[in-house]
């Protein structure tokens, strides 16, 4: 065993999943969209050449992920008090299985290129830590070859200083760091419009489930774009 890739996923739940996209999308559409994200990212994860583990929450919804991702998906529940502890515990659990390198990534970037994931593993050959920033000030991917404690001691996840704060902890421990390609999460309608635009001009590809969903709401995306242009 050499490389393992962890996907961090939440249950697609009506009224709770991707709620920042409401009311631009209905609660049901938000749930469907995230389900598409999961399918597309899982497919890319499998193509990256690492063993894939999906750590999910809540822990009693395993059957939902089994239906979405298929019978071969390796599904494990998340454990921890906050996001940092959950990520730390997941990475630690997989490293203790005997893997040399473990990369963890979120599931809000269906437009990520498989090559970006592969590069994260390659960069760990020379560095202690690999981390990829998100446009909102957080990060969407982190990888390492051994367990660390202090890098998870972030006062509050979900803020625009998470990437910076995490880097400060890494530097304090004198860790060598590879900072990878920045991507934008899909959290707001502006992000969704950007993704649609990128798909239309061929800047991103290989996310067929998400693309099909955006085609189904094309009228919303185009109407929203026209309203913004008139302002």
Q: Answer whether residue 79 shows pLDDT above 70.
A: yes
pLDDT at position 204: 78
pLDDT at position 231: 65
pLDDT at position 179: 97
The neighbouring-strand residues paired with 139 are 133
Give the whole-number percent of the chain exceeding pLDDT 90: 86
Q: What is the pLDDT of residues 80-121, one digit of tens each?
A: 999 999 999 999 999 999 999 999 999 999 999 999 999 999
User: What is the average pLDDT value for the chain, to the nearest integer?
Assistant: 94
Q: How far is CA 116 from CA 121, 126, 130, 133, 147, in A?
A: 9, 16, 12, 12, 23
Question: pLDDT-derived band of residue 18, with 50, 70 and 90 as boundaries?
Answer: very high
Distance CA(70)–CA(208), nearest Å, equals: 17
Q: Are 41 and 112 in contact (CB under 8 A)?
A: yes
Q: Which helix (H) or strand (E) holds 20?
A: none
pLDDT at position 225: 66
Question: pLDDT-derived band of residue 155, with 50, 70 and 90 as boundaries?
Answer: confident
Residue 99, SS3 per DSSP: coil
Q: What is the pLDDT of residues 206-226, one digit of tens each?
A: 899 999 999 999 999 888 767
Neighbours of 8 (CB within 10 A): 20
């Amino acid at each position: 065993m050499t490389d393992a890739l962890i996907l961090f996923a939440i249950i697609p739940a009506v009224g709770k999943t991707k709620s920042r996209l409401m009311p631009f999308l209905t609660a049901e559409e938000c749930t469907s969209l995230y389900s598409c994200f999961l399918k597309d990212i899982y497919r890319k994860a499998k193509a990256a050449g690492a063993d894939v583990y999906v750590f999910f929450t809540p822990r009693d919804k395993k059957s939902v992920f089994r239906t979405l991702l298929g019978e071969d998906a390796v599904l494990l529940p998340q454990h921890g008090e906050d996001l940092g502890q959950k990520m730390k515990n997941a990475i630690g659990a997989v490293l203790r299985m005997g893997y040399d390198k473990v990369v963890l990534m979120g599931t809000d970037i269906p437009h990520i290129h498989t090559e970006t994931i592969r590069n994260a593993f390659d960069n760990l050959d020379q560095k202690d830590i690999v981390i990829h920033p998100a446009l909102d000030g957080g990060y969407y991917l982190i990888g390492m070859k051994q367990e660390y404690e202090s890098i998870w001691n972030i006062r509050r996840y979900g803020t625009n200083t998470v990437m910076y704060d995490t880097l400060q902890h890494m530097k304090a421990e004198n860790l060598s760091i590879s900072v990878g390609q920045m991507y934008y999460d899909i959290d707001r309608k502006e992000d969704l419009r950007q993704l649609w635009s990128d798909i239309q001009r061929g800047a991103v590809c290989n996310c067929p489930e998400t693309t099909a969903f955006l085609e189904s709401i094309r009228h919303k995306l185009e109407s929203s774009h026209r309203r913004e242009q008139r302002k």
